[in-house]
Structure 1
């Protein structure tokens, strides 16, 4: 499903936007974003997992994201816990794809937060709802049966623009910078506080968005992006990685990226 987003971004690939694909074509719904300011040595890392709204077999107001409680196998933990527990400095988010009929449905029209074709949500918020659903399923009386529904999760949603088109005072930059994206996500996190259950993972999310303006590098991820095409294959990746390069310099710190992307194999 992440091919929908990377395919749209590929049209803008070039010196300031690089898309790197792993060897394995089927990477599920995971996508990594890196917002890199070269001159300031500042990084913001975002991990996204995409989920699609289920088919229209019920009324739009009752439709849900049926794969939210997916487990790779009985021996593995729930996928939502793996995303929620993503180690620093990653900021884990969900990307929910919604059908056009839902976005135009009177049950959702005019509501804030709004339902759009693609909505984001903090993984910690969605995980709290799913933990409540699992706990309620074994309780008496049973609770949480509706916790995967769009109508229930909507208060946690925000628009994709918060990530890809945040407000910026740096007019010279043509791509989102780590500072503008982190500020935008912090604003959404604070704004959605009334809908957030009190649980420990929320504070961790806010902390990662509020780190000092210094280089933060995830374990096992190189700081240097090599010279090469704007769309490339990287054998070391597990998921597609989109790198937004701001603060370009005239020295070796900034990679040389060709404008003409190579074809994905």
Structure 2
């Protein structure tokens, strides 16, 4: 169940990143992203496809999430950039993400600017795309934050890429004191407001996942959110007007609408990935395609 995974995985990340101190090594963002992708593969659900790059050396911290309705061919895309919390102090609010200032190449543009501009270009070209930051945080930092009454800092927290862009471009601090009010749990994006019930399909894919009992005793299974539902959840979680001290945050980019006419490369990936996982020669970072079918909702 995708929702259940999004609730459990952050706790695992907290414990996993806590171990780098004892092992005297630093786990990087790529390691946690690989664990995330492997966890999705392990769900074994027919409602998602996981694509990996052919050349492992080309894999960066990025992911693509595509929400696709295979019946209507409507879709919505998310570009994901991952960052790991840095610092070992005893004051949680001073810990932060210095790599948010990372540039693409020596003297190149800010990575966050490239991420958001890529999303804008893709949207303008007919592929509605939203930039998302996913933050990986060790348990010791999360525990300090929770002890201070701050519960938005989890093993995996997410934030609006357009907000992060505004923060970094204006040179504002990007520590937890500044960021925590604008961080949200992964489950806010992957858990539904209510349970969907999906009958097994008649085609190659049934769009069914692990079964569970609802509160009223009915047997159901969780399905991936459709593009409209995914956009609705993102719109609910990420406000377009935010309070940023010293910066006008009242005009963040709008969250683009869902589009029709699924790109050919995504359709080909769906048709070829009978097992739910595949290698794609054209990719330079992992991609997850969340499949839904509006006929079965």
- Provide the TM-score with structure 1 as the length reference: 0.77
Task: Between 92-101 and 241-250, report the one with greater CA deviation.
Answer: 241-250
1:108-131: per-residue Cα shift (whole Å, max 9, x none)? 64336x111111011110111111
- Provide the alpha-carbon RMSD of the alignment: 2.6
Q: Are 1:180 and 2:229 matched, yes or no?
A: yes
Q: Are 1:231 and 2:277 matched, yes or no?
A: yes
Q: Are 1:92 and 2:131 matched, yes or no?
A: yes
2-structure distance, mates of 1:125, 1:237: 27
In the alignment, what sits opposite 1:193?
Answer: 241
1:25-62: per-residue Cα shift (whole Å, max 9, x none)? 14121001111111222211111000000131463221
In the alignment, what sits opposite 1:141?
Answer: none
The answer to whether the 8 A contact 2:62-2:82 is kept is yes
In the alignment, what sits opposite 1:13?
Answer: 44
1-structure distance, mates of 2:235, 2:225: 15
Deviation at 1:74, TM superposition (A): 2.2
Query: Which residues of 2 match residues 125-136 of structure 1 at below 5 A?
Result: 125-133=163-171
- Of 84, 87, 90, the residue aligned with 1:55 is 87
Alignment: residue pair count:
230
Where structure 2 has 5 or more consecutive residues not aligned to the other structure, the ranges are 1-29, 199-221
- Cα distance 1:248–1:188, how it changes in 2: closer, same or farther (>3 A)? closer
Task: Between 240-249 and 230-239, report the one with greater CA deviation.
Answer: 240-249
Deviation at 1:161, TM superposition (A): 1.0
In the alignment, what sits opposite 1:39?
Answer: 71
Secondary structure in structure 2 of the residue aligned to 1:202 = coil
Secondary structure in structure 1 of the residue aligned to 2:248 = coil
2-structure distance, mates of 1:109, 1:41: 46
Deviation at 1:77, TM superposition (A): 0.9
1-structure distance, mates of 2:147, 2:64: 30
Secondary structure in structure 2 of the residue aligned to 1:180 = helix
Secondary structure in structure 1 of the residue aligned to 2:284 = coil
In the alignment, what sits opposite 2:197?
Answer: 171
- Cα distance 1:106–1:175, how it changes in 2: closer, same or farther (>3 A)? closer
- Provide the TM-score with structure 2 as the length reference: 0.69
- Cα distance 1:231–1:153, how it changes in 2: closer, same or farther (>3 A)? same
1-structure distance, mates of 2:145, 2:36: 27
2-structure distance, mates of 1:249, 1:184: 21
Query: Which residues of 2 match residues 193-232 of structure 1 at below 5 A?
Result: 193-195=241-243, 197-198=247-248, 202-204=252-254, 206=255, 208=256, 211=257, 214-215=259-260, 217=262, 221-224=265-268, 225-227=270-272, 228-232=274-278
1-structure distance, mates of 2:242, 2:295: 42
1:69-126: per-residue Cα shift (whole Å, max 9, x none)? 11232242111111111232221100001110111115664336x1111110111101
